[in-house]
Structure 1
Amino acid sequence: MIIFVAATYWTILWVTALPGSVSQIKLSYPRIEFIEGLRAVFLFRAQGVTPDATALVGGLAIGERELLSLELAQNMKTLSLTHLVAVSGANLAIIMGVVYLLTAALGLARNTRFVTAFLVMVAYVLVVGPESSVLRAATMATFVAIGLWLGRGTKPIISLAWAVIFLLGIDPGLATDFGFALSALATVGLLTMAVPIYNWLSGFMPRLIAIGIAASFSAQLATTPVLLMLQPSIPVYSVLANLIVEPVVAPVTVLGILALILAYPLPFLSSVVSYLASIGTWWITLVANEVSTWPAARVHFVAGPAGIVLAALIVLLCLGLYQRRLSEYRPGLSISLVAVLLMSASWSAIDQIRYQGFEGEWQVVNCDVGQGDALVIRSQGVVALIDVGRESQPIDKCLDNLNISRIDLLVITHFDADHAGGIYGALDGRRVKTAVISGFADDRPLVSLVEAALAQSEVEVLTGFAGMGGKLGELNWKVLAPTAKATEAKDSNDASVIVAFTGGDYGILALGDLGAAGQTRLMRNAGGALSELANRPLLLKVAHHGSADQSSQLFQLLSADVAIFSVGQNPYGHPTKKALDQAAVSGSIIVRTDELGSVAFRFEGQAWKISSAGKLTA
């Protein structure tokens, strides 16, 4: 009964939560100077086999994530290993278990052992900070400990329910906290499904392996609906990766905490201990970096709310199968589970088939690279690519699906990450002839990275300037802005390379991230070229993913047949209602990659024909 009450209470708070609701415990958590100093000294003194291995010691011991390289963080995310650096109930159990065994070995009284373990738990929570998973684990452990101390015992699932009710009662903002949900649901999976799965697996494999698979699979399955909200695809090798790294997690955690304790009094010894711990974390980095590169490390699952609902049904049916009280309904539950699984697999397969063959004959494809730009233009087999998105994988996958092995013209409009960060994905396995970049004085690190990548691939690099142009098959291309050194631009967005393509039948215009002021300047300096574009069926890549910083006069001047909003999930409100309304008022058909996925355009019968891939989640 109490489990149902906890679930209902949580659901009500989640449904009624106001937008932007957050945990008040996290917001009001006090900064304790001694603890901040201890964390800082520990991280400063930490030594390791590699920088990432050193950083991961801090991650497993105290939940420090900021020191991980972007590559390792992404690879761990691909394999669903990020829970290792989100200090959770497992870490707490390891620490409290060690303390309890030590106090028992010292012959301390039962009450003293409980009090010592409790105080260590409180100290650890203070060191780690207001992590949702730690708050859940500590509260649940307190309820369990009280029951044991009173000699009455308690079922762990009941303690979990009371912990959820208690925490949501004092902090309703936790109802919308992903970390809290993942922690609670993972525990539900472990408490309800792990033992039956272990009992089945242990019949034909070593028990230690069966335990690892059962624990990892049950936690992964129970958290799938929430994980799909965060990263909408299924990690194929998650259970395997977790099984491989699990043997080093407990030793690393214990050694990491020991290094933390020694950081102030014995800094040299703390460094030695952290180095020993890093041998274990080096193994984790090796597994993460290797396994994440295996084929189909993540696979598509039904996108959007439908996928989350299907995943939730699968979890509920699995939970029902393992409930003794529902044993008489197991045949029906089993049939329902198989039906939902088949529906999910079929739906996902249909998505894949549609995605692979959506484009047909095309002149233009706007790749879905999330919150970023990547526009492919093809004429008579000659290919141009305008921007490459933020990450390597999406643009690489899109170009592979389009069978693009050669890029004749690559334009990096400017060096914001969502336009230039995926450079390696565009270059990987492809020959790029010429690249055009903005001449704006930009000293951000990404500029050097892109230039180095282009140099390594022996790409001819040219600085774009108004008036530069050439041929792309039967199309003419021309840079409309900025000047060679872009001295007229106030920032990198304002210095975006604006390139137009014109042929006998149609025109294409890509506006980069040019704002309203720059658009007004463009109309003043390149009015003739814009008027020429406006006099033919025009495909317009809307500036800055549909931000509010747009010129309504430019929209009206161009009156584009199609307005492309290349956009993904973002915190900026793109595309804005203002930009969408301006495009609609100018008579444009609005195409959004956040809704349609990659979109192909074919010019036929004096009009643009549009086909979309649909959203894929991997």
Structure 2
Amino acid sequence: MRKLATVAFSFCAAVFLSQYLIPSGHFIAAVCSALGAALALLLPRRFRLRAALILMALAAGFCTSGLHRHFHFERVMALDGQTLSARAVAVERAEETDYGGRVVAKLHVPGVPKTKIRLYLYGEYPDIAAGDELSFTGRFRAADTLFGEETDVFFSKGIFLTAYPDRDVTVTGASRSIAYLPARLSAAVSDKITALFPQETAVFLRALLIGETANLYGNKTLAEALRLTGTAHIVSVSGMHVAFLMNTLALLIRRRRYLPVVGFPVLLLFMGMAGFQPSVVRAGIMQVFLMAAPLFKRQNDPPTALSAALMLILIQNPYSARSVSLQLSFSATAGLLLFSERLLRFFERPFASVKNVLVRRAVRAALSAPASSIAALGLSLPLTALHFGTVSLISPLANLAVLWAVSLAFSLGVLTLVAAFITGPVGALSFLPAALAFLTALPGRFVLWAVKIFARVPLAAVYTSNPLITAWLVYLYLLILLLILMRKNKARPVIPVCLSCISLCAVLIITSVSAAGTAFSVTALDVGQGACTVFESEGRVAVVDCGSIGGKDAGDVLGRYLMGRGRTRIDIFVLTHYHEDHINGLETALARMPVSAIALPQPADEDSEAYAFVSSLAFAAKADIIEITHNVSARLGGVELQLFAPVGSDSSNERGLAVLCSHGAFDTLITGDMSIISEEKLLYLNAFPDIELLVVGHHGSKHSTSETLLRTLDPELAIISVGYNSYGHPAPDVLQRLAREGVSVYRTDEIGHITFKAS
């Protein structure tokens, strides 16, 4: 079976090379590999077969990538930019969004290969279930951008086009194909979970049981806690969930020889209900290998099963190689296969003298969880740092604390749903689902509670935005590599472990001391189409606004920036007004670190909903709320922070605060989204010095940043906080005004984070 593993891994290597290093010329690479295989036949006998297999598998991988690109991808991409009438079949239930809805469907256009598309539904739209046949006329675009930025997310899922209907989408019928049964069952399970469990528990269980994470990540506090603690994998359906499912089946099916008979169809159904995500397909294929090996009187070989699973996924869609979830799933599984048993034996060394068999089994069972968690992190941690810029320090402890409850919640959840579908709402056993739901909710609530508690631990995670953390991570893996190379010399791992811990502490101390010594800095964070400005002075932090409508989580961007600089607290949070692109990152920011006070304008009636949102977050975070009704100033480290009360009343923009931050002779002014009229009122009612830095109003709207403002304040520098948008920001008129006044302009959409420092 190891020959199959050699072939499969080589095939996969070729596909990954095609995606990342050789985007074209796949057939040339295939021919070169095939020629290399022919030449390999001239090698000595002991190397001949393996070298030939590797090179032929590489040729097959390059050829598969080329064929998929030529016969599928390029023909589908021919629809990019076209408007035409089309038919499609929904592959899942339509999902509600802020603007209407969206649904993934399989497109049927004559002369074009069938492919998945993301169909956007605006306004009122019909109920759409998996298997519904749809008819529409719309404009097609390549699914390679998200909020104006290039992305691989859709291609990796096999979704190559997005469609924007010109008119209503019509449901013309329903497919009777059994292929849509898992998606329909998944929707029914989702509805049943919603009916049986409290809201937050239901959100968690939908993610745990069927991989439905849309509502989970809508709960920013919970989503942030999962990321910080490295436990997000528990709600990403993968090998752990397949193991839970098979263990549950094993408890119900006492005779093991019947397990494959029931397990194969149940496993296929479960993969379909989870949307055939790469991580669950990988786990499902490996489980099939495990169950099938005894039937064919062969031993199961996990590396072979892992490589074969990856190969099958990439044959179906080579672009799956770009899937972050697939990379993390396979790297974690490879880490388990390579290191878990070795780590477990190392952890058992102190108990080697224990003679009692029962005690040794108990010790082994207790140590297997931390050994598995650390082993899985061994290869997945670099990918997590690369893709997300996060290293969760508390992940092993958090996983150890909650995995038993996750397993229990999964098994009880499956039993609850089976009981709910069998008994129905009436009958002698109608009480059973509610009773089981109560029991299921207990471990579910424990997981949610524990994850949030661990997320509040100081330095639960560190960020690679800090170059010292990146250097430490490289140092850590060099130590691990050295330990592996010296294993024949029986090197003691205690010394590398101590060195890595000491070096991490040194990095954190250096970062904290360096940040505390900053005299003054102002940073406009790149949050997309929104605003978030950070003032730092002598260890104190003030943040003005935190929001974005450009697809980025402004609170996440803020948290990464501050914690990467060793900051663990925000002294004051100023919200200039209540629009979403200035406040919707607050929830994540408060989940990431404590805030002493939140300053904001007095709300009008139209602001009541947003004010209630902010107030509830402040109450939960134990942050004081300060309503600014008149001008106030405060000393923060080495700066003076002045908050100017609203001067207008016509809209939320005009009722916003202005902020002046002064450090010696360096003055920075933020006017929020004020219009030109409100700017002139602000100048008339208050005395301002000549300023050095202006944060351009309303993201560069032509209705802000007047010539009067520029001539009165005479700024030398200007920052425009802007991202992908359909408003025309920044307006050419504003850029011309700034140029005429000789102001140097810096834009977050072009530069990223923008920092100015003063000594």
Which of these residues, 246, 257, 260, is aligned with residue 96 of structure 1?
Answer: 246
SS of corresponding position for 2:391: strand
1:11-410 alignment runs, 5 A limit: 11-15=17-21, 19-21=150-152, 22-23=154-155, 25=157, 27=159, 34-47=184-197, 51-68=199-216, 69-99=219-249, 102-103=252-253, 105-106=254-255, 110=257, 113-204=259-350, 206-267=363-424, 268=430, 269-301=432-464, 303=466, 311=473, 318=480, 350-357=510-517, 359-360=518-519, 362=520, 365-366=522-523, 372-376=531-535, 386-387=544-545, 391=555, 394=559, 410=574
Percent identity of the aligned residues?
19
Tell me, yes or no, if the aligned pair for 2:523 and 2:534 is still in contact at 8 Å: yes
Distance 1:217 1:148, change over 3 A: same
Find the aligned partners of 1:600 and 1:403 in 2 and give their Cα distance: 21
Query: Displacement of 1:314 after TM fit?
Result: 5.5
1:421-436 alignment runs, 5 A limit: 421-422=585-586, 430=596, 435-436=599-600
Match of 1:414 in 2: 578
Give the counterpart letter for 1:39 in structure 2. Answer: V
SS of corresponding position for 2:422: coil
Query: Displacement of 1:239 after TM fit?
Result: 0.8
- Give CA deviations for 1:193-252 in whole Å, capped at 9, x if unaligned: 111001111122521222111100111222112222454232222111111222233332
User: What TM-score results when the alignment is normalised by the length of structure 1?
Assistant: 0.73
SS of corresponding position for 1:540: strand
Give the counterpart letter for 1:240 in structure 2. Answer: L
- Give CA deviations for 1:126-177 in whole Å, capped at 9, x if unaligned: 2222333112212333344454433233421122112112211211222221
Query: Displacement of 1:445 after TM fit?
Result: 3.6
Is it true that 1:508 corresponds to 2:668 in the alignment? yes
Find the aligned partners of 2:245 and 2:223 in 1 and give their Cα distance: 25
Q: Which moved more, 1:537-546 or 1:218-227?
A: 537-546
* Long gaps (5+) in structure 2: 1-5, 24-143, 145-149, 161-178, 352-362, 425-429, 548-553
Find the aligned partners of 1:453 and 1:264 in 2 and give their Cα distance: 38
Find the aligned partners of 1:592 and 1:204 in 2 and give their Cα distance: 55
Query: Displacement of 1:64 after TM fit?
Result: 3.2
Find the aligned partners of 1:330 and 1:575 in 2 and give their Cα distance: 65
SS of corresponding position for 1:412: coil
Query: Displacement of 1:89 after TM fit?
Result: 0.8
Query: Displacement of 1:95 after TM fit?
Result: 1.7
SS of corresponding position for 2:349: coil
Find the aligned partners of 1:247 and 1:403 in 2 and give their Cα distance: 33
Query: Displacement of 1:578 after TM fit?
Result: 8.2
Find the aligned partners of 2:472 and 2:725 in 1 and give their Cα distance: 29
Give the counterpart letter for 2:545 in structure 1. Answer: D
Distance 1:168 1:598, change over 3 A: same
1:1-16 alignment runs, 5 A limit: 1-2=6-7, 3-15=9-21
SS of corresponding position for 1:87: coil
SS of corresponding position for 1:130: coil
- Give CA deviations for 1:469-499 in whole Å, capped at 9, x if unaligned: 566689896859761x2x2x5xx55764445
Tell me, yes or no, if the aligned pair for 1:182 and 1:223 is still in contact at 8 Å: yes
Find the aligned partners of 1:147 and 1:382 in 2 and give their Cα distance: 62
Give the counterpart letter for 1:437 in structure 2. Answer: P
Distance 1:232 1:102, change over 3 A: same
Match of 2:717 in 1: 562
- Give CA deviations for 1:544-592 in whole Å, capped at 9, x if unaligned: 567999879799767632334568xx87699989899877894426486
Query: Displacement of 1:526 after TM fit?
Result: 6.6
Query: Displacement of 1:86 after TM fit?
Result: 1.0
Distance 1:30 1:556, change over 3 A: farther
- Give CA deviations for 1:266-313 in whole Å, capped at 9, x if unaligned: 244233223212222222123212222223212344647x96797578
Q: Which has the higher strand share?
A: 2
Find the aligned partners of 2:644 and 2:498 in 1 and give their Cα distance: 56
Distance 1:385 1:223, change over 3 A: closer
Tell me, yes or no, if the aligned pair for 1:92 and 1:137 is still in contact at 8 Å: yes
Find the aligned partners of 2:565 and 2:501 in 1 and give their Cα distance: 31
Distance 1:571 1:123, change over 3 A: farther
SS of corresponding position for 2:462: strand
Tell me, yes or no, if the aligned pair for 1:157 and 1:191 is still in contact at 8 Å: yes
Tell me, yes or no, if the aligned pair for 1:506 and 1:538 is still in contact at 8 Å: yes
Query: Displacement of 1:37 after TM fit?
Result: 4.1
Give the counterpart letter for 2:345 in structure 1. Answer: N
* Higher relative contact order (CA closer than 8 Å, sequence separation 6+): 1
Find the aligned partners of 2:317 and 2:469 in 1 and give their Cα distance: 29
Match of 1:615 in 2: none
Find the aligned partners of 1:317 and 1:9 in 2 and give their Cα distance: 31
Distance 1:548 1:80, change over 3 A: farther
Which of these residues, 744, 750, 755, is aligned with residue 588 of structure 1?
Answer: 744
Q: Which moved more, 1:284-293 or 1:552-561?
A: 552-561
Q: Which moved more, 1:171-180 or 1:294-303?
A: 294-303
Query: Displacement of 1:26 after TM fit?
Result: 5.6
Distance 1:448 1:524, change over 3 A: same
Distance 1:551 1:35, change over 3 A: farther
SS of corresponding position for 1:169: helix
Q: Which moved more, 1:188-197 or 1:393-402?
A: 393-402
RMSD: 5.2
Distance 1:443 1:572, change over 3 A: same
Find the aligned partners of 1:419 and 1:36 in 2 and give their Cα distance: 35
Find the aligned partners of 2:540 and 2:263 in 1 and give their Cα distance: 69
- Give CA deviations for 1:330-369 in whole Å, capped at 9, x if unaligned: 98x9999999999887666654443332x22x3x644869
Tell me, yes or no, if the aligned pair for 1:58 and 1:256 is still in contact at 8 Å: no
Find the aligned partners of 2:482 and 2:294 in 1 and give their Cα distance: 29
Give the counterpart letter for 1:373 in structure 2. Answer: C
SS of corresponding position for 2:606: coil
